[in-house]
Amino acid sequence: MKFSRTLHITVALMCLIAFSQSICPTKTVLHIDEDFEKTCVACPSNCSICYLALNKQPLCAFCEEGYFMDKEHKCRPCAENCSNCTEGDLNHCRSTQSGFFFDQKTQKIAKCNEESCQSCNAADFCVSCKEGYFAANKAVAENGIEKVVCQPCNIDNCLYCGQKSDQVKDSSFLTCTLCKSGYGIVGGKCEKCPDNCLYCHEESKECSFCETGYLLKKETNTCEKISIDNCYTLNDAGDCMFCESHFYLKDGKCAPCKKGIANCNYCTTKADSLTCLSCEIGYFIAGDYCKPCPENCNHCNSEKCFVCANGSYYNQQSNSCEKCTIDKCDVCRSADVCDTCISGYYFDAKSKKCEP
């Protein structure tokens, strides 16, 4: 059953990557219903990336900084001031949050003395600066590690800056090396890119990448809204060149895969013929069609089931997915062993029940 859950998560994450440029903001996941209406569903609490589980509920794939994922895919807090951990206690902390360090003497996470310090080896030994600051002075300590003094960039919309030398005037000056998204470097400062442009070239402010849903017109250096639904990119004639997931190109527009091939989730066109790449949950590709899997099976081929539906387990003897007999069980390994109980319950091996 562990293999089944791993396969399911892998498939879901592949779908998630395909949606990375979708219309949904961060910490949400795209849901498309039977009428192809789009909804951005919020991820669970403290989750940065999630996907839709088999029950259409968002399930977390990656937690926010300072949290770890438990067996139920819920994000639990790390120890105080810990940014990356495997469990909630300090012994399982892998890295500290920005501006903190692990004090070997006290065996605790302590704060760097300077607010401008990103990371330090000791309270008064800064080794890197936070966004908006630069290393004004550097000195190599006896241990060979470089100690820095951080000072503010004082450049609007600048993330990172540095000092440059003016040999003619025998002086130095600050210049931005990385601006915030939507801004470009011009004369060492950060100036706004064209409207709806995410990234633009240094000095010229020529747009290189537009926001999702906008098309770059190089002749005018503008980002124009795409008028064709479910389309990412248009050609010079105004026809769609690349559609969102779940859709395929048809006469310059984007048509749903399900309309072309019943129960097809992802598809492509090759030599004017439509080919299904992935079927909906509960179906498998059989030639040019999507055929249903056996009862209670979510992923299969023509010979066997690989992933049973939640609330079911694979019976080797009957070669089929059978319903869990344990009340409150979400994922079971066998008739009397539950891997994951529903939220708020845990499996007791002695009683063989999901207990609250």
H/E run at residue 117: strand 117-122
Predicted confidence (pLDDT) at residue 142 exceeds the cutoff of 80:
no
Structural contact between residues 293 and 284, judged by C-beta atoms closer than 8 angstroms:
yes
Residue 244 has pLDDT above 50, yes or no: yes
- Residue range 198-220: average pLDDT? 90
Mean pLDDT of the chain: 84
Q: From start to end of 201-328, where are the E strands? A: 207-210, 214-217, 222-225, 231-234, 240-243, 247-250, 253-256, 264-270, 273-279, 283-286, 289-292, 297-300, 305-308, 312-315, 320-323
The predicted model gives 206-211 an average pLDDT of 92
pLDDT band with cut points at 50, 70 and 90 for residue 1: very low
C-beta of residue 337 within 8 angstroms of C-beta of residue 355: no
Domain boundaries, the chain: 24-97
Mean pLDDT of the 194-212 span: 93
pLDDT above 90: residue 152: yes
pLDDT tops 90 at residue 315 = no
Q: 257-300: per-residue pLDDT in tens?
A: 988 999 998 898 877 789 998 898 889 999 888 999 988 898 88
What does the pLDDT look like over 42-98, one tens digit per residue? 999 999 998 877 667 788 989 999 999 988 788 999 999 999 999 999 999 999 999
- Give residues with Cβ within 8 angstroms of 50, minimum separation 6: 16, 27, 28, 29, 43, 44, 58, 59, 60, 61
Model pTM score? 0.62
- Structure-model confidence comparison of residues 236 and 80, the more confident one: 80
Residue 36 has pLDDT above 80, yes or no: no
- The residue-averaged pLDDT of 150-167 equals 88
**DSSP 8-state code for residue 114:** -
Under the banding of pLDDT at 50, 70 and 90, the label for residue 23 is low
